[in-house]
Amino acid sequence: MSTHNSYYIPNKATWPIVGTVGLFCLLAGFANYLNGSAIGVTWMILGLGVFVIMLAGWFTLQAIESESGMYNTQVGISYRMGMMWFIFSEIMFFAVFFGTLWYTRNLSVPWLGGEGTNAATREFLWPTFDAIWPTNGPAHLGGKIVDGKSTGEFETMHAWGIPFLNTLILLTSGVTCTWAHHGLLAKNRDQLIKGLIATVVLGFLFVSFQAFEYHEAYTEMGLTLGSGIYGSTFFMLTGFHGLHVCIGAIILSVVLFRSWKGHFQPENHFAFEAAAWYWHFVDVVWLGLFIFVYIM
């Protein structure tokens, strides 16, 4: 804390209010859209536009300040703490959906099927329901559509096809990301850039495979958001994860662009570290998904 005297305190900040207005419009627009109002989408696009401009503007500002040496070690520590705790909040967000999967699969679905002291539940509510995972519930919601009617039948995704491939892709991208970091530390810019390109490409490849998988699920397998608790948990978990892969890949693209511009030094590269941490976090969540959603 010896560097206390030169802690960087910005005088004014205009981007926060811009970002808030953008997000407000985006969400208010989305809510209007969900309520069936015609202007909702316009507000969403407008809000998203403002929000993206804010991101671009704010991060450009941060990059300029960082490169001109305004941040000392202590400022860097604040940023690192900020990123760490942000990732922790994300972990808790995913924990909700993992918890939901665990609870429904191990507790509430068996109870519906009459387990424990719940024989009467089954008897009076859904006497024909057999609690076998995967399930779309006693009402057999959703499922494949035949002749315009849903059959209530759905298939689940095989773990050892595309999902396994995606596991390999993400794990490899974790390695290339670390390889890029080594390049940065060794002042080997070529390795840094190549490693980042590989990571970003693998990231987007993952997303493309996942999009393909979703397409299959919706068109061939009768597996949709509407196919009961299995479909709900499946798409909620993989969907939010996919979204995070997209965000991570975009962040890494920005880092790639900055590396190519000559930014980052072995002793000063917070943005790189933050992006890498985020990427590894997304990686670990995927491993959880692969085990608990696909394999088990």
Partner 1 sequence: MSAVVAEHDHDHHDHGPAGGIKRWIVTTNHKDIGTLYLVFALAMFFVGGAMAMVIRAELFEPGMQFVQPQFFNSMTTMHALVMVFGAVMPAFVGLANWMIPMMIGAPDMALPRLNNMSFWMLVAGISLLASTLVMEGGAPASGWTLYPPLVLQTGKALPFAIFSVHLLGISSIMGAINIIATVFNMRAPAMTLMKMPLFVWTWLITAFLLIAIMPVFAGAVTMLLTDKFFETSFFDAAGGGDPVLYQHIFWFFGHPEVYVMILPTFGVASTIIPVFARKPLFGYSSMVYATASIAFLSFIVWAHHMFLVGMPMAGELYFMYATMLIAIPTGVKVFNWTATMWKGSLTFETPMLFSIAFVVLFTMGGFTGLMMAIAPADFQYHDTYFIVAHFHYTLVPASIFILMAAGYFWLPKWTGHMYNEKIGKLHFWLSAVSVNILFFPQHFLGLAGMPRRIPDYAVQFADWNMISSIGGFIFGASQLLFLYIVVDTIKGGTGEKVTDEVWEDASKHGLEWTLPSPPPYHTFTTPPTAIPTEHF
Angle at 93 between CA 87 and CA 96, to 5 degrees: 145
Which amino acid, residue 231? G
At a CB cut-off of 8 Å and minimum separation 6, what does 112 contact?
A: 118, 121, 122, 125, 126, 129, 131, 137, 138
3-state SS, residue 131: coil
Q: Which of 24, 25, 293, 6 is nearest to 159 (CA)?
A: 293
Q: Angle between the 189-216 and 228-260 helix axes, to the nearest 10 degrees?
A: 160
Q: Is residue 117 part of the contact set for partner 1 (CB under 8 A)?
A: yes
Contact region for partner 1 (CB under 8 A) — 12-20, 43-51, 163-171, 288-296?
Answer: 12-20
Q: Is the peptide bond before 163 cis (omega within 30 degrees of 0)?
A: no
Window 156 to 215, contacts with partner 1 (CB under 8 A): none
Quote the least distance from Cβ 197 to partner 1, whole Å.
31
Q: Is residue 86 part of the contact set for partner 1 (CB under 8 A)?
A: yes
Q: Is residue 19 part of the contact set for partner 1 (CB under 8 A)?
A: yes
Cα(104)–Cα(108) distance, rounded to whole angstroms? Answer: 5
Which amino acid, residue 7? Y
Nearer to partner 1, 6 or 219 (CB): 6
Pick from 48, 53, 63, 100 the residue near partner 1 by CB under 8 A. Answer: 100
Window 20 to 49, contacts with partner 1 (CB under 8 A): 20-21, 23-24, 27-28, 30-31, 34-35
Nearer to partner 1, 86 or 209 (CB): 86
| Backbone phi, psi, residue 263, to 5° | -70, 170
Interface mask (CB under 8 A) for partner 1, residues 209-248, using x and -?
---------------xxx-xxxxxx-xx------------
Pick from 66, 104, 166, 259 the residue near partner 1 by CB under 8 A. Answer: 104
Quote the least distance from Cβ 92 to partner 1, whole Å.
4
